[in-house]
Chain A
Amino acid sequence: MSVFDGLKFRKVTSPVHNLDPRMKFIYVIVIFVSAILFSSIIPLMVLFVMQLPFVFVAKVQKQWVRSLRGAAFLALFIFIINIVTSYFGNNFTLLASNIEAAIALTLRFVVLIESFSVFFLTTSPDHLGLALEQSRVPYEFAFAFTTAVRFVPVLAEEAQTIMDAQKARGLELEKGNLLKRIRNYIPVLIPLIVSAIRRSLELAEAMESRAWGASKKRTNLFSLKLHKGDYALLALSIGVLVGAIYISFFVSIPTITSLF
């Protein structure tokens, strides 16, 4: 669950939080694409380090570290799978370059998690919805998306209450074999689903009584405008993308093992 903790938005103000979500998203995509372009350690290290200023300026180090810690298990999994496949693929020998490649691929995954984590940690669901809307995504979809994001913590809390209520009636979640344990969750899942449906119907009624869908075009209290910082970020994104493409096609990147 700690991966999700690392994606949860908390209201703070910082230059990074104030950036336009659309530009931040473009930047994340650029990092994403660049990470996919490279499969050696040095450029991936550069990409990893490039995110750090954002983390520190946004003051989200703690949550960011938590999201990385949450992803550690998957990262380890990727590392082991790579080591194992190259070991068996190379007639049961393991070269230093194989280990390096495995580290690089793990690092690539960490870079992807890192950039998405920074994006979600510094972008409020409201801003995200607004960005979707201003990118001509139909309001219904934008609303559904932001509502889903917003209700995750509510549902998590509700699940805890339901578990307590059933434990108080003698339910032991940790008892029995695997199949029994899965069955143990039925008394938790059914109330959770029923109450989520009930909640959504209530929300729909409440919204309709507040004139949801009364006019085709809604107005917004806030609208996103691009500022200097946003253009700077866009320029940086383009720069990184062009640089990454150039380097990956025309520059031969030394591997760590070849340096020794």
Chain B
Amino acid sequence: MIEAEDIHYSYPNKVEALKGVSITIKDGEFVAIMGQNGAGKSTFIKHFNGLLKPTQGRVKVDGVDTTKTSVASLARNVGFVFQNPDHQLFSETVEEEISFALKNFCFDKKIIEDRVTWALELLSINQYRKTSPFLLSGGERKRVALASVLAWDPQTLILDEPTIGQDHEQKEKLRQFIMQMKAQKKTIVIVTHDVEFVAECNPRVILMKDGKIIADGIGTAILTDPVMLELSSIVLPQIAEVFTKLGALGLPKNIIDIYEAKALLLKVRERLNK
């Protein structure tokens, strides 16, 4: 569980990136944080594993104040995958890269091997086990970075822009994988600009702007609110856009799910055929 109480954060150059943000993320919740560039999203999520400590206010992870403990001990429960995989890859092989964190956390040798194999298979990069991570494509490097965090099976997973550079198939796999994690009662926090991806997952959505939270609620409510989305420089998901434009037909506007949309449109056709 992550609890943030009225946190403020100013960078050393006096830029105030967070201006009083409060939030509670329960275990097993799936949260998408969205907002325009410079809204404070990245600054905010860096508080969840203690990389940044609030200049004012308090962040508690599983009841522990982040100012009272180290990043390394918080990281054991809170996995953080950075946006750019090149900021963390350094090993000679993919296998070693993935075992890096496991070694830091002093896992047994046998367990490390099992976990590495598990993570490699989960993200379908097993064929690259002995390859240098620097020889892989951008999307593959991104999956190696993700695997290197998943390997220690943290309770909370924070993903910064996970869909960038991934093709449709990989995005779908990522979505399924997130759903699987959710089913295992893991907490997942993603930061993204990919509104279609969020619409497909339909998580709890938090919109940020100028260092504050401006909206917090279920995906169907937030992603179909044109006013709030415009404030955050986000366009409506395509399905929501269609249903907003079809308002005259007497259809509901808060639709983001493709199956729900299909069912509603079929109903309209039946009605018109009569």
Contact = CB atoms under 8 A, between A and B. Distances in A.
Interface of A: 158, 161-162, 164-172, 186-187, 190-191, 194-195, 198
Interface in B72-115: 72, 75-76, 79-80, 82, 84, 86-90, 100-101, 104-105
The contact size tier of chain B is 20 to 34
B88 A166 contact: yes
Given A168-B51, A169-B101, A169-B149, A191 B72 contact: no
Interface in B42-69: 46, 49, 51
A233 B236 CA distance: 61
Contact of A167 (B75, B86, B89, B152): B75
A32 to B, nearest CB: 32
A240 to B, nearest CB: 37
Contacts of B89: 191, 194
B179 interface: no
A170 B87 contact: no
6 contacts: A161-B82, A167-B71, A169-B149, A170-B72, A172-B70, A186-B90
Contacts of A195: 86-87
Main secondary structure on chain A at its contact with chain B? helix
A162 B51 CA distance: 12
B118 interface: no
A170 B82 contact: no
A195 B72 CA distance: 24
Contacts of B71: 167-168
Given A164-B46, A164-B51, A187-B100, A169 B86 contact: no
Contacts of A191: 86-90
B90 A169 contact: no
B197 interface: no
Contacts of B128: none
